[in-house]
Amino acid sequence: MKYNMQKTERSKKIAWKIVKYTICILVSVIMLAPFYWMITTSLKEYSKVLEFPPQFFPNPVVFQNYIDLFRMQPFGLYLWNSIYTASIVTLSVVFFASIAGYAFAKLRFAGNNILFLIILSGMMMPVEITTIPLFIALSKLQLVDTHFPLIVPQIFGYGGAFGVFLMRQFYITVPDELIEAGKIDGCSQPKIFYNIVLPMSTSTIATLVIFTFLQNWNEFFVPLIFLSNSRLFTIPLALSLFTTESGVQWHLIMAAASVATVPVLIVFFFSQRKFIESLAMSGLK
Amino acid sequence: MINKFYTKKKSKHKQSPLQRNDRFWGYAFIMPMLIGYSLFVLAPVVATFFIGLTDWSLIRAPEFIGFENFKSLVTDEDFIASVINTLYFTVLLLPSNLILCLALASLLKDKFPGVGFFRTAIFTPVVTSVVVWGIIWKYILQTDNGIINVLLRMMGVKGPQWLFNTSLAIPVVAFVTLIKGLGMNMVILISAMNDVPEMYYEAANLDGANKWRQFRSVTLPLIAPTIFLVIIMTVIGSLKVFGQIYNLTGGGPGNSSYVLVYYIYQQAFQYYEFGYASSVSAILFIIILVLTLAQWNVRKRWVYHEV
């Protein structure tokens, strides 16, 4: 009797394991299949893309689409535009948010808390709402159709607010004694920040770098509104506009989408813990 | 968490030179962020409300017209369609997202061989650009050559026009958005579930509660604040949905997948009706503000309850 119960208990466990793995594998396949389809399409010859029955594995595997992509379209230029705007925003956010986060966490001045809450409120101001006045103002200043709107407002909007929040939460955990010791040694605040506090926060800064870079690398709404000169396009904007044209060349589009995605995915797979942490943090305001 | 926002009370003693020095550098360090925030976030938000009260387009000078824009919105068919579609999208997305995320989080919260891979797989679409994600699905969902309809044809079924069908456009976009966002909410819920002290489950076990009962009576109540956060975030996200719509359906067919931000985009940047578009922005902003404040308040209450 007892033996039988143990047996049913065990077979129940095994059955549950099978169900669990089946669900997990099924969900993972649904999640990853679009990427598989994107990459395999980008490796097919043009004539094979629309073949019926479809090729689930490209035969032959060709890299011609990638070569064509960089030769026919100024794709390198879009890549460069994306890289450099996202980099400037990221570097600036790291700089401005870490000094502000440090001040809010460790320096006493009147209005510290209220000013922090004001900046924090930037996290709930959607870019979709601030865009019209910004567009009007920047067009008066002749800054529409430049990279200015992709860079400067992004430093101080959602990304900046999140950065200040993230850095402040970290700097609060730094012991006051370290800062006091720096003062006793005669260091000024910038020196204390740069020599003592900043080196301790490299891990948090890495989180902030990943979050900010990804956010701007993927940004679509702002470039769509502010850019019309195709030499200024970022990758997401270029991709989107080429797909709305008629006669879409899917093999090239998928190659372009792969170039935009695969580097991010590779970095993601190697540092997924930091990635997930940084993105989940942004939700937990 | 809220408590951390408040640092120590100001001391009543006279300030030493060192403290004055702190004050100077405090303001100096926050100044760039504060100025940038005022110029690029605060000022535009305030301006949106004023522009919403004007008749202002690219060719006409701005003219103050009070609440005329808001009055016109009430009878504007495209605006009403946008509101209805946005709500429809939210109603489709929210429950499915919540149930799936809770299920996946309960499944993947424990360590077992392969769990890392499954979590990573589910999170992968989150790090992907909305444009790329939209384009891949547009490719997959093509009527004639899309892989889904091709597979259906191989099984002898004629697939529908996924993206060119008035009654399918919003559900399809909601599905694509659902898959993209699952990983985010799942990760947040996993971390909340793992914060539930093990002893509660042990106690429930002793009381003979089965897994489902444990989930209902232990897990759910204890992660309620996080569930609330996830709900608010998902709703705000759905109210702002744009990239998926733009890349998958372009608002079409007709106005069957117009949503609020798409309508703002169209009015402001295709027709250059800044005043009219701003009145829609103002409405959207107020809704998001109310939701965010509700979230902050409820969270604060919950935090105090827990202590």
The three-state secondary structure class of A108 is coil
The C-alpha angle with vertex B229 and arms to B226 and B233, in degrees rounded to 5, equals 140
Find the range with the poorest average confidence among A88-92, A123-127, A224-228: A123-127
CB contacts, 8 Å: A134 with chain B: 40, 44
Q: pLDDT tens digits for B90-125?
A: 999 999 999 999 999 999 988 888 888 999 999 999
Q: What is the pTM of this model?
A: 0.88
Cβ B41–A125 below 8 Å, yes or no?
A: yes
Name the CATH superfamily housing domain A68-283.
MetI-like (1.10.3720.10)
A257 and chain B in contact, CB less than 8 A: yes
Question: pLDDT at residue A22 above 50?
Answer: yes
B299 and chain A in contact, CB less than 8 A: no
User: Which tokens in the block code for residue A83?
Assistant: 């890289």
Find the range with the poorest average confidence among A69-73, B45-49, B240-244, B255-259: A69-73
Any idea what DSSP says for residue B63? E
Question: pLDDT at residue A123 above 90?
Answer: no
pLDDT attached to residue B186: 92
Q: Does A62 or B171 have the greater pLDDT score? A: B171
A242 vs A244: CA distance, rounded Å: 6
**% of chain A at pLDDT higher than 70:** 94
CB contacts, 8 Å: A279 with chain B: 126-127, 184, 187
Domain ranges in chain B are 74-306
Please give the residue of chain A at the shortest CA–CA distance from B26: A103
Inter-residue contact A256 to A82 (CB < 8 Å): no
Best residue in A50, A115, A130, A282 for a mutation probing chain B (most B CBs within 10 Å): A130
Min CA distance, A55 vs chain B (Å)?
10
Residue B273 bridge partners (DSSP) = B57
User: Which tokens in the block code for residue A101?
Assistant: 């986060």
Q: Grade residue A217 by pLDDT with cuts at 50, 70 and 90.
A: very high
Residue among A24, A100, A118 minimizing CB distance to B107: A24
Look up the ipTM and state it.
Answer: 0.89
Nearest alpha carbon to residue B126 among B169, B188, B172:
B188
Domain ranges in chain A are 2-65, 68-283
Q: Grade residue B303 by pLDDT with cuts at 50, 70 and 90.
A: low
B68 vs B26: CA distance, rounded Å: 46
A259 and chain B in contact, CB less than 8 A: no
The pLDDT mean for chain A works out to 88
pLDDT attached to residue B2: 44
Nearest alpha carbon to residue A164 among A223, A118, A109, A229:
A118
pLDDT attached to residue B97: 95
Q: pLDDT tens digits for A157-175?
A: 888 999 999 999 889 888 8
Residue found by looking up tokens 């809450």 in the block: A117
Give the residue-averaged pLDDT of A128-136. Answer: 92
H or E stretch covering B55: strand B54-55
CB contacts, 8 Å: A237 with chain B: 131
Question: pLDDT at residue A75 above 70?
Answer: yes
Window B:189-218, CB contacts with A under 8 Å? 191
Q: Where are the alpha helices (DSSP H) in chain A?
A: 2-42, 46-49, 64-72, 75-106, 112-120, 127-140, 148-156, 158-171, 176-184, 189-192, 198-200, 202-217, 221-226, 235-244, 250-270, 272-283
A20 vs B111: CA distance, rounded Å: 13
Question: pLDDT at residue B19 above 90?
Answer: no
The three-state secondary structure class of B273 is strand
Please give the residue of chain A at the shortest CA–CA distance from B108: A24
Question: C-alpha dihedral over A237, B264, B166, B73, to 10 degrees?
Answer: -170
User: Which tokens in the block code for residue B101?
Assistant: 């995320």
- Peptide bond between residue B253 and the one before it cis (omega within 30 degrees of 0): yes
What is the dotted CATH code of the domain comprising B74-306?
A: 1.10.3720.10
A240 vs B60: CA distance, rounded Å: 31
Q: pLDDT tens digits for A76-108?
A: 899 999 999 999 999 999 999 999 999 999 998
CA A145 to chain centre: 23
CB count, 10 Å around CB of A85?
23
Cβ B128–A136 below 8 Å, yes or no?
A: no
Question: pLDDT at residue A151 above 90?
Answer: yes
The three-state secondary structure class of B64 is strand
